[in-house]
């Protein structure tokens, strides 16, 4: 089964970006950075979501991200689906931190249970077909609104939204041009999807 082993964010200064992500989220090898000056403006068409177990973990991760230089796009709050908020990293990447639980059920931790890459695409059904043809398995599908693909433990989960909904969920305008500034690493080889997102061999 094809899946995303890692994602690489293209940033102006990898040293600065690495320092931010180490301090903010303490992520391991699933998220990396590399230098790029590719032009980009506005919404880059994606958000990375950190799924955690309880509100105290959300508060801790968002708090360290803000202390390290992130800005708030959506303040942390309770909603009908759980508890969470959205921030923008200094390099421009959008991060959502969320828990389905609205109450803490144990001691505070900084454990990230799952990383989900949310892509905003022009045609969810067409992009779903594209990825299924390349070996990804759809785990959840809601017509042309949302698709979530299966992923082994320790891999980055991929989900598709219609672009305007993805932007609304992130708290930004859907307008944007230029490079996505993200590369998806997998065992599926090198290709570009219908919305211009680049995949590379994970070992590249």
Separation of alpha carbons 139 and 47, rounded Å = 19
Angle at 20 between CA 18 and CA 23, to 5 degrees: 105
pTM for the structure as a whole: 0.95
Start-to-end CA distance of the chain, whole Å, equals 19
pLDDT digits (tens, 9 = 90+) for 112-155: 999 999 999 999 999 999 999 999 999 998 878 899 999 998 89
- Does the domain at 4-201 match CATH 3.40.50.620? Answer given as no
The residue extents of the domains of the chain are 4-201
Q: Is the dihedral of CA 171, 155, 62, 196 positive or negative?
A: negative
């Amino acid at each position: 089964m094809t899946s995303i082993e890692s994602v690489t964010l293209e940033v102006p200064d990898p040293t600065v970006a690495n320092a931010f992500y180490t301090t903010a989220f303490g992520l391991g090898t699933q998220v990396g950075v590399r230098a790029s000056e590719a032009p980009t403006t506005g919404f880059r068409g994606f958000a990375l979501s950190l799924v955690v177990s309880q509100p105290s973990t959300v508060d801790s991760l968002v708090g360290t991200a803000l202390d390290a230089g992130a800005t708030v796009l959506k303040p942390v709050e309770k909603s009908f689906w759980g508890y969470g908020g959205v921030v923008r990293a200094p390099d421009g990447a959008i991060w959502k931190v969320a828990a389905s639980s609205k109450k803490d059920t144990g001691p505070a931790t900084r454990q990230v249970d799952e990383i989900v890459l949310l892509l905003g695409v022009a045609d969810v059904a067409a992009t779903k077909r594209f990825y299924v043809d390349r070996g990804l398995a759809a785990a959840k599908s809601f017509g042309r609104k949302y698709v979530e693909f299966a992923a082994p433990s320790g891999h980055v989960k991929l989900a598709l939204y219609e672009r305007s909904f993805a932007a609304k969920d992130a708290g930004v305008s859907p307008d944007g041009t230029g490079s996505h500034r993200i590369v998806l690493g997998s065992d599926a080889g090198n290709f570009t999807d219908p919305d211009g997102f680049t995949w590379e061999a994970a070992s590249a």
